[in-house]
Copies of this chain bind each other. A is one copy, B any other.
C-alpha cells in the first residue's frame, strides 16, 4: 500500500490489539464497522482534534484502518479483509462484545 499504510505482511497481531485497546479507538472502529467509510470529522468522540489525530495515526499505522484524502477531507475505513487474514475472528469477537462506556 502507501507509506502511510502497512501491508498485511507488515502488520502484527500485537500492534492491532494495542490499537484496538483504547475506548476511543474502539468506538471509532465500531462506528466504521457499522457505517463503512466515514469522513473523520463526522465521528464525534468528544476528544480534541489533536488527540484524534494521534488515534487516527495509531489505527492507520497498525493496519486497522485505511485513510483516503478527498479534497481536504480524510475518509476512514476499516481494513476488514486484512484484519480477518491476520487474525481470523478477532474483529468479529471485538465488535460483538458489549460497548464500553466512553465516559470512563
CB within 8 Å of B: which residues of A?
A: 12-23, 25-26, 86-90, 92-94, 96-98, 100, 104
Tell me which residues across on chain B come within 8 A of A86, comparing CB atoms: 97
Pick from B22, B89, B104: contact of A18, CB below 8 A. B22
Closest partner residue, chain B, to A84 (CB atom): B93
Pick from B21, B96, B98, B104: contact of A17, CB below 8 A. B21
Closest partner residue, chain B, to A91 (CB atom): B93
Closest partner residue, chain B, to A23 (CB atom): B14
Complex Cα–Cα for A12 and B104 (A): 10
Contacting pair B20 A14 (CB below 8 A)? yes
Complex Cα–Cα for A86 and B98 (A): 8
